[in-house]
Every structure is written in C-alpha cells, then in structure tokens.
C-alpha cells in the first residue's frame, strides 16, 4: 500500500523517501523469494537429466543457474553512457601515468 493523499500533501515531505525505500525493500524480498523458488525448481529438474538434456542437441551445454537474484531495479546504461565511462577511465589512467612520470622526473634531477 502506498501513501494516502493526506500523507503526501499535508504531512512531512520525508515520508515520500521512506515509502520509496519501503517499496524497494518489499520488491527485493519478492525478488529473492522468486529466485529461491526458481532454485528449488532447477534443483528438482537436475534430479532427472532426461527432462533437462533429453531433447537438447548434441554438444549442448547447460546454462548454470545464477548465483544471486537478478537486480531489476538497476538502471541499464545506454551505449553512449558506456562509451563516456570508458573515455573517463582512459583519461584517469593517462592522468595517473603522467603524474607517475612527472614524479620520477623530479627525483632523477
């Protein structure tokens, strides 16, 4: 259940943050419960290999079950954001190398 109209408009504005945090916690609990249920089903299917591998093509390797629940709340990065992150990492690396080079030049003189 979310906020009421009165809570949103007439009470403390920090309630919005608290309700949002509570919503995320509930979503994480639901996600973990679904992950655990999937793990149980996966383990049950592994007990009978004919179900899993009976209709697969020769040489097909099974996909391992994920180690942790999938995070649905994580924001996906666009290709432009990934390129920007890579450029920043390259720039930072070059800056560190230049600073190290400058520090060694001072000590050699």
Per-residue HEC secondary structure of the chain comes to: CCCCHHHHHHCCCHHHHHHHHHHHHHHHHHHHHHHHHHHHHHHHHHCCHHHHHCCCCCCCCCCCCCCCCCCCCCCCCCHHHHHHHHHHHHHHHHHHHHHHHHHHHHHHC
Sign of CA dihedral 57, 64, 71, 33: positive
In tens, the pLDDT along 71-104 reads 666 667 777 888 888 888 888 888 888 888 888 8
Quick one: pLDDT at residue 29? Answer: 93
Evaluate whether 72 touches 31 at the Cβ level (below 8 Å): yes
Quick one: pLDDT at residue 98? Answer: 87
Residue by residue, what is the 3-state secondary structure of 20-35? Answer: HHHHHHHHHHHHHHHH
Quick one: pLDDT at residue 49? Answer: 62
In tens, the pLDDT along 26-82 reads 999 999 999 889 888 887 777 666 666 666 677 766 666 667 776 666 667 777 888
Q: What is the pTM of this model?
A: 0.46
Q: How far apart are CA 104 and CA 91, in angstroms?
A: 20
């Amino acid at each position: 259940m979310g906020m009421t109209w009165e809570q949103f408009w007439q009470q403390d504005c920090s309630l919005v943050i608290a309700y949002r945090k509570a919503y995320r916690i509930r979503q994480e609990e639901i996600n973990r419960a679904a992950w655990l249920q999937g793990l149980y089903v996966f383990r049950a299917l592994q007990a009978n290999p004919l179900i899993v591998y009976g209709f697969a093509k020769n040489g097909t390797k099974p996909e391992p079950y994920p180690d942790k629940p999938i995070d649905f709340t994580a924001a996906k990065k666009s290709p432009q954001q990934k390129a920007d992150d890579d450029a920043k990492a390259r720039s930072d690396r070059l800056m560190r190398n230049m600073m190290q080079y400058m520090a060694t030049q001072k000590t050699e003189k």
